[in-house]
Structure 1
Amino acid sequence: MKVVLLIFIVCSLYEFVLGAINMETYRSKQQECFKELKIPQAEAEHVSKDKLVSVPSEPFKCFHNCLYTKLGLFAKDKINVAAVIPFAHMRFSKVPVDAIKKKLKICNETSPITCEVVFDYETCLGISLHK
């Protein structure tokens, strides 16, 4: 029994550390994109709290394209839904993974990658999962 409990604790700690590293990477890449694109401070603060930006500035429309690029969430010039799942679950941890997968399929865009395509995809995802 003690061995099982110990294994459970080790696995839980591993998952916690792994999640922290991923969130740290996510936040770090966010900051890089804020600086590169000169995102207005108010929008950067809003997004850092995982809130939607209702009236985005022009630079902000390319923010998610920058972030997805830095996180490696594209495959063959398309959004790699399988790669997005862990980051979406990290951001929307209260939403079951199956529900996230469903929303990702609904929002999935098959057009070539542009700032507008990724912005629309992220907006669709954010609106769906913030409910």
Structure 2
Amino acid sequence: MSTETERKTRRVGRWLLCFAVAGGAVAWAVHLLAAWGVVELVCSIGRRDVNGLPLHAFVIVATAVPAVPAAAALAAAWRIWQHDLAGATGRRERRARFLAELGLGLDALACLMIVFGAVALGVIAPCA
């Protein structure tokens, strides 16, 4: 293994790769719990606000906050796949590149699901 490849492999740390693979899915789960779960709970008790914040504003916040780490995970997976492991030759580098490719798909799906969930919450009246 060349020193250049070793340097790139070291730069792509285990935790960054874990974030690139699972960050979007975790952010999507947070979005589901915050946006859908809290909205359903608030509507079931007959309120129209969450601690003084109107329900539509809460939905925007509950979508924007998880969307940021999901987009960051997508960017991290792209960076690892495109730049850091573009010429992967060794077994370790190929495995990391595969995980980065997996992260690209999962994070893109998570970002889309967060956006679609926000659209659904915005189009359908929360407490209808």
Larger radius of gyration: 2
Structure that is richer in helix per residue: 2
Normalization by structure 1: what TM-score?
0.31
TM-score relative to the length of structure 2: 0.32
For CA contacts below 8 A with separation 6 or more, give which structure has more relative contact order. 2
